[in-house]
Structure 1
Amino acid sequence: MDGPIGAHCSLSSCNINDFLPIKCKCDHLFCKDHIFPDAHSCPVASAGPSETNTPAEKLQRCAVDGCRKPSLEAFVSTSTRADSEGRSAALCSGCNKAFCAEHREPKFHSCVPLKAENGAEDASKNAKARALLNKHFPSSQPSSSSLSEPKTSSDKVVNPKKLAQIKQVQLMKMRHKAKPADPRDKPTSVSLEQRLYVQVSTETDTTPVPYWFRKTTVAGKAIDLLANHFKMSSSTAPLYLLNATEDGSTLLNNSTPLPDQLDDGSSVVLSRHKPPE
């Protein structure tokens, strides 16, 4: 992981370092929020259709019902048209459908895998794919084998540079999945420097969900916004926001802005119980 990861969005007002940038027909790279021609004032789109364009070049839409975004396969196929032989299609390996960057992961499009004709061959391919992903993108979640064996100091990443790189990759992946906690905030109206990204879980749903807040948001306001997302009411019992770390959980002060209490990429828990003092 010595080289740069991803690429910066070509829109000057965004400039986010995107983990999976998409190339537009104007030959510039953009993040998933600004890839659409009207989002970056695409000169190719504004110039009108060229003589070489045909109806067959219309971008394929994401397979998720109601999503109007172009699929990743649409961009890959148009950008590599001259050298399409031997190209791997940008399709879901489970259902073999094309999705946009936001819905590309199976859990975000309710993936129903096709029945494999050769189970052993598919299992081998999946194992190789997982090994490749684990090699380049180590997960912060413990594997089943790591749970069964006690960790020693030698198992931990002790190189500060490598640890910082791993955290940076994890934060970039979180930014791709995160949604605004406040539905009134739009990705195009709040710059990256004004956002704080966190992983949110509850006592009953421990699967973390990534959200971002304006850095001016206090913890009390964050509780109200998250309670709406997780369908939790504070009318019967108060809700608390806890900073979850390896050393335990600490209660956030409701009147203090989130950045004064949390780092970018922190994990928090929306709870009905205060941590022991």
Structure 2
Amino acid sequence: MEFPTLGEHCQFLDCNQTDFLPLQCKCAKVFCREHFNEHCLSGECELAPKPKEVNLKNVDQIFKCSEKGCRKGNLHEMVCGKCNKHYCIEHRFHPSCPEVDAETLAAKIEEWEAPRRQFQAANKNLQEKITENIRKALQSTAKVKTASKIHLMRIKQKAVGPKSIPVSDRVYFAIKKPKDMSPKPVKIVEDEDHLEKLDSVTLDPDLKDTVAVFISSKWSLGRMIDSVCDTCNIKNDNNKVGNLKLRIFRQLDGYCINPFKMDVEVSELMNEEVLLEGDKLVVEYVDNYILNSVDKTAHIFLFSE
């Protein structure tokens, strides 16, 4: 059973994990415990709780690590029994105390780090197996519906977007962000006879290097692009005069989704199977000169060698 409204997504850049006991800063942003500490110590938020070196007097203060150059903090005090200073978990066994030799320090650090590495390795292996199992299932007609549901559930678990969208209107995609703002080379196909026909649009189960998002099926394509850019922190000047415009491409075949008509509704694109819920979409910058110089009936693809 799914609970799409339970918990909150951490708003720290590139985190987005669901936290059922999130921490909220006075600036109204919510974070998981780890990134709440980093947010407070970054110095970028004037409303964030101020760190205190020694004693925790109220919930609006956090303990700052005493290690030089460390910006991490904790809500709970972890005092070294030898020097009586607070340290984060990473620097819990620090070399500043003369009683701790290098060998003991290395052993203690390994004792703390080993379980975390094991968990990360196990989780990575699990996700790779899930991805491969979904990919195999998508090749089987009998299993494709189940595989598609599992793939979509994985996206929903991490998806972020405007909370004002009713759950019944939400549709989910995996978004790959542009690496930079340079215009990407594209291929123009003006004759439909030269299009490579696909039997059907299929899902790509690999979610690596993507951001899971949800948008409203009732929105226009233009509003979808604006929302995706806001959610994924992508610079968007589509509403300004300039040489660069953002467009959305299918990762499957590089096909540009309606490059010239931004007022088409997302639900219409999904009914026509131009878009498929759960699909991986690529957001890229395109030279505006190309968009203005080609026939409006042409098809645009991301160029791939």
With the shorter chain as reference, the TM-score category is: 0.3 to 0.5
Which has the bigger relative contact order, CA under 8 A and spacing at least 6?
Answer: 2
- Report which of the two structures shows the higher radius of gyration computed on alpha carbons: 2
TM-score, structure 1 as length reference:
0.46
TM-score, structure 2 as length reference:
0.43
